[in-house]
Amino acid sequence: MGIYNYFRQKAKRLFDNIKSERVKNNLLTAIPFWVGSVIVGCVAVFYAQLFLLGENLLIKMIHGRLWLLFIIMPFAFVSAWWLLKRFSPYSRGSGIPQVMAAIEFANPKDYDKVKRLLSVKVIIYKVISSFILVLGGGAIGREGPTIQISGSIFNRIYEILPAWWPRISRKSMIVTGAAAGLSAAFNTPLGGVVFAVEELTKIHFNHFKTAVFTAVIIAGLTAQQLAGTYLYLGFPKTTAVSYTALAAIVLLGLLAGVAASYLSKIILLLQRWRNSFNATWKHLLFLVISAWIIATLAFFVSEHVLGSGKELMEQYLFTSQKHARWYDPVLRMVGPALSFASGGAGGIFAPALSGGASIGSMFAGWFGFSPTETNVMILAGMVAFLTGITRAPFTSAILVLEMTDRHSLILHLMLAAIVANIAARIINRHSFYDYLKHDYMAELSGHKTLGK
């Protein structure tokens, strides 16, 4: 019996030591994700406020003086482009393709490439360039840049971990950072999780699911503590969907998916045409002409061509001016196309949502739907158009669902997303982000770009 007790005590002590070591390792592994999530939440709120400041300053500057756009916009487009070309070329554009490329490069032999895509320098110039562009009337969003900024924060935390720290996957850090960024940017935690699974990675979700769940919660709660609990678009009134409206959602999904796919092709063509210029004056001329086209549309047609388009979405959803004019969808595609192709920093998420909202609003007017059914069409258009750009139907549907708290419409939004995804794939097999990701990877590897 004495020998039995002796070995039992030894076994218990060994088990306790192993358990204690495991708990310690789990805690140390979690800390970088927790710290990164808190930082991301704070930075996302700061960036959102800075973006809003830029939009408000523009409104004040051009109030009653729309002609100023012909001066402000060329200066902003050129400045935003030159800053990145000179100091941080991988800060340009949305940021999501850079994160996708960094995930592909997240192996020891390509760490130098990851550092060029995700770094503190990228964060600084991303913020400055996008602020200049939005201050100058660019039709851009902040959500894609927030994702690259968040991925850069998590990547930097990974880099500064001491050698004795428990091993953490760089890929998991980047994916988790991006998911946390989307969660904080839109206040959509579930959307952040779905985005990580559907859009960013092909690795098994079990490898990083706990980290992603924790990060989006912490980042979202941090953002809420600083900015307050809010919905990105509020609570639009909706109604039960009739069979007629259900059929209209299918047609709307087709229309929005095709429109978004062609917008992607146009942006890519513009970008690659501009990148083919071998003289600086050609770049400058392209930027000035692009800025003047947007300024002309704002001056003679409508100011809806400017900015992210969030105010336009709120107008459609919450005012009596629910039906878009025929040119609103055109403006919400021309503005983002020229702004995104300019080479400055700025996202396509919010502009895509506003483009889809304008198509859904106009579509509802054609069918003579009631105001509440029109809201359903607007939300379905947003989901469909964003799906056509991203080819991420589940992410698009969940994002709009969380932005508006319209859970009763989940099946209808998913229907619009699936139809749009099919329609977009018929036009173009690859998504907008896939093309840009391959372009960045090819550029860093010295190979030809996809689609050239």
Whichever domain contains 387, its CATH number is 1.10.3080.10
Last residue of a domain, one of 227, 261, 282: 227
Q: Does any domain span residue 236?
A: no
121 pLDDT higher than 80: yes
Specify the 3-state DSSP secondary structure of 93.
Answer: strand
**Are 291 and 164 members of one domain?**
no
Residues 112 and 247 reside in one and the same domain? no
Last residue of a domain, one of 161, 193, 227: 227
252 lies in some domain: yes
Comparing 105-109, 188-192, 196-200, which segment has the lowest mean pLDDT? 196-200
Across residues 417-445, what is the average pLDDT? 89
The answer to whether residues 256 and 405 belong to one domain is yes
Q: Does 8 map to a domain?
A: no
User: pLDDT category, 28, cuts 50, 70, 90?
Assistant: confident
pLDDT of residue 102: 92
Alpha helix segments (H runs only) across 196-279: 209-227, 243-275
Residue 85 has pLDDT above 90, yes or no: yes
Task: Examine residue 199 and state whether it is found in any structural domain, yes or no.
Answer: yes
Angle (CA) 404-418-325 rounded to 5° is 60
Residues 178, 287: one domain? no
Banded model confidence at residue 305, pLDDT cuts 50, 70, 90: very high
Assign 73 a pLDDT band (cuts: 50, 70, 90). very high
Judgement on whether residues 57 and 192 belong to the same structural domain of the protein: yes
Report the pLDDT averaged over residues 307-315.
Answer: 88
Position 56 in a domain: yes
In a domain, 6, yes or no: no
Range with top average pLDDT, 139-153, 159-173, 206-220, 405-419: 139-153
Q: What is the mean pLDDT of the chain?
A: 86
- Number of compact structural domains in the chain: 2
Same domain for 252 and 194? Answer: no
pLDDT value for 429: 83
Q: Whole-angstrom Cα distance, residue 223 to residue 216? A: 10
**The predicted structure's pLDDT at residue 17:** 57
Exposure letters 98-109 (e unless 16+ CB within 10 A, then b): bbbbbbbbbeee
- Tell me, yes or no, whether 416 and 392 share the same domain: yes
The stretch 252-276 carries a mean pLDDT of: 93
Judge if 280 and 356 occupy the same domain.
yes
Q: Which of 186, 203, 227 is the last residue of a domain?
A: 227
Bridge partners for 141 per DSSP: 347
Q: Containing domain of residue 191, as a range?
A: 18-227
Per-residue pLDDT band for 353 (boundaries 50, 70, 90) equals very high
Of residues 258 and 190, which shows the higher confidence score? Answer: 258
* Alpha carbon distance, N-terminus to C-terminus of the chain: 79
Does residue 166 sit in the same domain as residue 279?
A: no
Q: Please, are residues 180 and 190 in contact by the beta-carbon 8 Å criterion? A: no
Q: Is the pLDDT of residue 368 over 90?
A: no
Question: What's the confidence (pLDDT) of residue 7?
Answer: 58
pLDDT of residue 387 exceeding 80, the answer is yes
| Residue 389 confidence (pLDDT) above 90 | yes
Does residue 384 carry a pLDDT above 50?
A: yes
**267 and 356 within one domain:** yes
Do 223 and 251 reside in the same domain of the chain?
no
Predicted pLDDT of residue 450: 41
Both 175 and 296 in one domain: the answer is no
Percent of residues, the chain, with pLDDT higher than 90: 44
Q: Highest-confidence range of 69-78, 134-143, 340-349, by mean pLDDT?
A: 69-78
Burial of 148 (0-12, 13-18, 19+ CB in 10 A): buried
- Note every long-range contact of 440-447, with CB atoms under 8 Å and residues 24 or more positions apart, other chains counting: 440/90, 440/97, 440/98, 440/101, 440/117, 441/101, 441/104, 441/105, 444/101, 444/105, 444/113, 444/116, 444/117, 445/113
Say whether pLDDT at 290 is over 50.
yes
User: In this structure, is residue 417 part of a structural domain?
Assistant: yes
Mean pLDDT of 206-222: 69
Residue 360 covered by a domain: yes
Question: Would you state the pLDDT for residue 452?
Answer: 38
